[in-house]
Every structure is written in structure tokens, then in C-alpha cells.
Amino acid sequence: MAFFLIFLMMFYCVVNTRPVKAAEDSWETMADMPTGRLGPGVAVVKGKIYVIGGMCVDFLNTNEEYDPVTDTWATKTSMPTPRAGFATAVYQNKIYVIGGGGDFFVDEVTGANEVYDPLTDTWETKTQMPTAREFLCANVVNGKIYLIGGSKPVNLNDPSFVPNVNEVYDPVSNSWTTKTPPPTQVSGYASAVVDNKIFIIGGSPVGNLTQIYHPETDTWSYGAPLPHACWGAAAGATTGVWAPKRIYVLGGHPTFNLNQVYDPETDIWTMGAQMPTNRYGLGVAVVNDILYAVGCSGSPDNKKNERYTPFGFPVSGPTPPIEPFPTWIVAATVIIAVVASSLVVYFVKVKKTTREAEK
């Protein structure tokens, strides 16, 4: 009986083993994205990364799905409106694709708001953003999607080239409201959410600002300036589950391959390992606190898919939750162990009885 209990404990421990610790602050190259591009939208749903739209010679509506577990790509249903430089956000496992630029010849920007459902591989059109613009980010806080700043095509007679707006979309009511704009107009910035605060970092025209929006109070504050000013960078935030809470600002112009790391708790910037590929106009996705950088200007580098393991991965503190092993397998193992141990006891008794009868 003891043997089988030991076996059961060993079996359960093996199948619940946590991933081996990866080398922190390091990069590795993964499978290339099928369609190289600049300025795509990137989003994560249930551990899969979706790279949508972008630009390569012309504006694209391409939609490709990356599985980090298998390091493979698959093609999905294309976005209805080809465009680049738009904003993406995920709410209730659906990807909202909002704004962007879509026509070279008329310098067109759009307020299009299209929603992709990865479960059904279908698109749906929603209420347009009031102020059409490109080169902006979308962030979700408490079920609302915030779209801040951005720009319109260059026009010397148009003072709203960089619209100083903060428009908020409610996916439930399919409606828009207006909130307090940032202190400094900004476009082409990097952005992330930490503890329900929206960080607007870098961008044009002032490339080193860290502007922080507090949705609960509709107010703004400043963080420590970005060490190296940049435009066209992208950001990803680690959650504190697998790696400490940090915001990683990757690439941009003219920083290209820099990895600037912000600690929102201490308001201090440090530098991480540089990206292998120079990039601006890239997309960044975060899966289980691992960062993936895809797309950029130039060819063939615009197909590059590089994975970054951040500082402190995995965290040295409380261990992250793990997927429970399927209950039916555990139950079956217990039953087998009990039956087997009972059989052993039975045969031992039979053998003992036989020996006593022979005496």
C-alpha cells in the first residue's frame, strides 16, 4: 500500500511541475510572421497573439494568429477595413480595432471601430470613434476603452494635426464619451496599464514625457521622463504574477533597439537587454509576462518575431497559480492504486493461509 501511495505522490508531482526558470533579461528569435509589415495592431486572447493590419507597400487587412506554445502561425479572417497605425484593445475575449490610416493618396484617417471574435473567427462593425485619427493606443480599465491623443495627416492649415483628445468607448452600450485630455498633446507614443492607471510614454512632439492618466478621478500626473526620447515605440507591461510589475518600452525612432524599463512603484527607469532587431512601428504582446515583439519598418526584418524574458522571471516571491491536473486522471490513479494495493494484500493473505495449511 505504501509503495502505491508513494507512486501516486510522485506521479502527481511530476505532472504538476512548474516551467523551468528561463534566462531573465534575454531575447530569442521565434518563427517569423508570415506577412511582414509596419504599424500592425497586436492583441492577446487566451494565450494566442493576433497580429492585424499594418502596412507593407500598401495598407493591409491581414489577420494572423501566433501560438507561443507551438511557435506556429495561422491565417484568420481578414479585417474589413485595411489600415495601419490604429489602436487595439481586448475586452471579454474580443479584439477592438479602432482608428488608423487607410489611404496614401488622400491622406485619410478613419474612426472605424471593428471587433474581432477569435472564437467564431468573425468581424463586427461598431460605432465609430468621434475623432478620426492614427498613431494612438487603446487601453482597457474597468470595462471601458480609452483612446488618447493620436494624429491626423500633416496639413499646415489644420491646427488639429495632433488632436488633444481623450475619448472613451463603452463596449456594452456601444457608445462614446469624452474625458480630460493629456496635459501635453501626443502622437505615436507607447502605452500600457498598471494598477488601473494608463501610462502614455514618449511620442511626438515631446518624446521623453511619461504622462499618467487616472481614470477613476479623470486626472493626469507625470512620471519620471523616459531616458531616451522616442517616437513609434511600443510597450508591454508585466503583471507581477510571473515577473515583477514593469513597463518595457521597446524600439522607436531614433532608439531602434533599446529596451527602456520603468518601475511604476518607484518611478525609476533602467535599461534592459537590447532587441536583436532595430525596430519602430512595431507591435508588442505579453503572454504570461513574456514579451513578443513583431513587425517593424524595413524588409526582411519586418517579419521578425522575437521573444523577451523580463527581469525577475519567474518571481522569487509567491509562486504563480498553475493549471490543476485533470480531476478524472487523478481520481483514476487513486482508484488504480487502491485496487492494486488491495490485490497485493489479498494475495499476501492467500499465500500466508496456504503456508499455514501446509504445515
Q: How far apart are the first and last CA of the chain?
A: 28
| For residue 2, pLDDT beyond 80 | no
Give per-residue pLDDT as tens, 299-335.
778 999 999 999 999 875 444 444 444 444 444 544 5
Band (pLDDT 50/70/90 cuts) for residue 185 is very high
Residue-level pLDDT at 206: 86
User: What is the pLDDT, as a whole number, of residue 90?
Assistant: 98
Q: What does the pLDDT read at residue 26?
A: 97
* All three cell numbers of 225: 521622463
Give 200 or 347, the one with higher predicted confidence.
200
User: Do 193 and 139 form a contact (C-beta atoms < 8 A)?
Assistant: yes
CA angle 46, 49, 50 (to 5 degrees): 115
Q: What is the C-alpha to C-alpha distance for residues 49 and 62, in angstroms, rounded to an integer?
A: 14
Other CB atoms within a 10 A radius of the CB of residue 222 amount to 12
> pLDDT digits over 50-74, tens only?
999 999 988 999 999 999 999 999 9
Transcribe 248-285 into DSSP letters: EEE--BTTTT-EEEEETTTTEEEE-PPPSS--SS-EEE
What span, in angstroms and rounded, lies between the C-alpha atoms of 255 and 253? 5
Other Cβ atoms less than 10 A from the Cβ of 199: the count is: 23
Residue 16's pLDDT is what? 39
Place of cell 511541475: 17
CA-wise closest residue to 250 among 299, 215, 285, 213: 285
Instruction: Look at residue 337 in the predicted model and tell me its pLDDT.
Output: 54
Residues in the chain: 359
Radius of gyration, alpha carbons of the chain? 26
The reported pTM is 0.83
The answer to whether the beta carbons of residues 184 and 206 sit under 8 Å apart is yes
